[in-house]
Amino acid sequence: MNDGLIQTTESLCPVCLRVLPAEIRRRGGEVMLGRVCPEHGRFEEAIWRGEPDFETWRRPKRPAAGVAPQQPPGRGCPYDCGLCPEHGQHPCTILVEITSHCNLRCPVCFADSGRGEESFTPLATLTEQLAWIHRQTGREVVLQLSGGEPTLYPELPELVAEGARLFSAVQLNTNGLKLAEEPGLARHLARAGLSWVFLQFDGVSDRVFEIIRGRPLWAEKKAALENCAEAGLAVVLVPTVAAGVNDHELGDLVRLAISLPSVRGVHIQPMTASGRNNLSGAAHRLTLPEVLARLSQQTGGLIRPEQAFPPGCEHERCSFVLRYRRTAEGQLIPMAGGGCGCKTTTTPSTPTETADNRRRSVEVVLNSWQGPAPPGLTIPMAKPAVRDGFDEFLALARQQTFSVTAMAFQDVWTVDLERLRGCCVHIFRPPNRFIPFCACNLTSAEGRPLYR
């Protein structure tokens, strides 16, 4: 690929957070996002390094109209999030921060939790908030319960049950310490209808946890996995990955995940500079192709970059998706998207409908991450299901689906307003706002938040 301008967009000044016209340019093996602030000068950050080529990584989407709720236009994107009329995608995932309490004090925390100003929102208030969200989005949304550390919430099973009643799926974002300490908690949450656990899991050695979480946690993580497996609770391992810190453990982490039937996938989040972070320097940054390259190298080609495809819901530059069927021997057979000879999504000629993609995206996420029904928890059917080859294939496919995904959150150095307007992962801010995840967590170079 030749050097030069690829496209124009808009970004922010990392210092004063003003909106600036920006250019995406190829320079050697890197794709850079550059802009000039009249007050603070030129800023440039690498947003893509390596294969697949940035120019071919496309999944255009038609902006979705009528996103609810509408905030009145004011200063324009990204200052009026709520959502505002400029936003181009429905939420497929709504994150609710149910407490600011945390039982860790991580050096790295985009929510900057555990500052000593903790509080629990009363259950009745949270229940009203879920009902309000449901009125805006309908059922087809993944509800993420987050924090702080949501397992510290005293009435978590009740809240999970309410979420399961209202939404397609309920996901718990947790560090897993309480799940490790209290084996009964996983069972309570499974019975309440929790769909899967998003388990913070940065690596396979204590050294990594010491750096990123401030203390060794390997034993606790293993215990949390065991307790979830015993409760029949599906788990997705979620590593926050920084170059030079834990990127060398990605292969071992994927191999560990493949070996555990209750683990449905690995969801990789490259480190960003938002919130509290002592690993925010450029040397620790990883772009999506670099994550793919490490996965390929460290798994001996079990995962291959050409099997990855861009997402159908969020903006194409925000994530990659790898979906497999895992065999009993630990092999990965590509499902849709790539490597199976039926790749159709990489360069579509026309934009696909965003509203429809949201529905499909929620279905695909459910198929990927939701485990088979826990033992003893299957709801008896009025009429027994007919058993044939299709039924058995579906049951096995549900058990064997394994995904490796990565989401490149944006920070003040990489923020691209085109991506922000295509966001479908929104944080609910009481009483009545949905704020795109990266806008909500964004902080300036000096630590000044855009929203928090």
Partner 1 sequence: MTLATNQLPEIDVEGWVCRKCGQPLKVSLVAVTYMGSSFEVELPGCPNCGFTFIPPVLADGKMLEVEKMLEDK
- Near partner 1 by CB under 8 A: residue from 71, 129, 205, 367: 367
The answer to whether residue 333 forms part of the interface with partner 1 (CB under 8 A) is: yes
- Near partner 1 by CB under 8 A: residue from 340, 348, 370, 374: 340
- Near partner 1 by CB under 8 A: residue from 394, 432, 447, 448: 394
- Shortest approach of partner 1 to residue 355 CB, angstroms? 15
The answer to whether residue 353 forms part of the interface with partner 1 (CB under 8 A) is: no
Closer CB to partner 1, 289 or 310, in the complex: 310
Question: Is the CA virtual torsion 190, 191, 195, 198 positive or negative?
Answer: negative
Of 382, 408, 303, nearest to 31 by C-alpha is: 408
244 contacts 288 by C-beta, under 8 angstroms: no
The answer to whether residue 311 forms part of the interface with partner 1 (CB under 8 A) is: yes
Q: Provide CB contacts within 8 A for 394, sequence distance 6+.
A: none
Q: Provide CB contacts within 8 A for 135, sequence distance 6+.
A: none
Residue 37, H or E segment: strand 30-37
- Near partner 1 by CB under 8 A: residue from 3, 55, 353, 363: 363
The answer to whether residue 381 forms part of the interface with partner 1 (CB under 8 A) is: no
Closer CB to partner 1, 353 or 392, in the complex: 392
The answer to whether residue 335 forms part of the interface with partner 1 (CB under 8 A) is: yes
63 contacts 77 by C-beta, under 8 angstroms: no
- Shortest approach of partner 1 to residue 422 CB, angstroms? 14
Report the alpha-carbon distance of residue 301 to residue 129 in Å, rounded. Answer: 46
Q: Render 344-385 in DSSP notation, one character per residue.
A: --SS-SSPEEHHHHHHHHHHHHHHHHPPSPPTT-PPPPSSPP
Q: Please state the three-class secondary structure of 159-202 as a single string.
A: HHHHHHHHCCEEEEEECCHHHHHCHHHHHHHHHHCCCEEEEECC
Q: Provide CB contacts within 8 A for 230, sequence distance 6+.
A: 183, 186, 187
The answer to whether residue 424 forms part of the interface with partner 1 (CB under 8 A) is: no
Return the range that interacts with partner 1 (CB under 8 A); candidates 66-74, 106-114, 204-212, 383-391.
383-391
- Near partner 1 by CB under 8 A: residue from 31, 197, 234, 365: 365
Return the range that interacts with partner 1 (CB under 8 A); candidates 35-43, 76-84, 196-204, 307-315.
307-315
How many chain residues are in contact with partner 1, going by CB under 8 A? 33
The answer to whether residue 391 forms part of the interface with partner 1 (CB under 8 A) is: yes
The answer to whether residue 364 forms part of the interface with partner 1 (CB under 8 A) is: yes
Closer CB to partner 1, 256 or 404, in the complex: 404
The answer to whether residue 406 forms part of the interface with partner 1 (CB under 8 A) is: no
Report the alpha-carbon distance of residue 398 to residue 366 in Å, rounded. Answer: 10
- Near partner 1 by CB under 8 A: residue from 117, 379, 386, 431: 386
The answer to whether residue 388 forms part of the interface with partner 1 (CB under 8 A) is: yes
The answer to whether residue 401 forms part of the interface with partner 1 (CB under 8 A) is: yes
Please give the C-alpha separations between residue 368 and each of 172, 184, 190, 265, 361, in angstroms, as whole numbers: 16, 25, 17, 8, 10
316 contacts 348 by C-beta, under 8 angstroms: no
- Near partner 1 by CB under 8 A: residue from 70, 282, 347, 393: 393
Report the alpha-carbon distance of residue 162 to residue 404 in Å, rounded. Answer: 29
Chain centroid to Cα 363, Å, comes to: 16
User: Contact positions toward partner 1, by CB under 8 A?
Assistant: 309, 311-313, 321, 323, 325, 333, 335-337, 340, 345, 360-361, 363-365, 367-368, 386-394, 396-398, 401
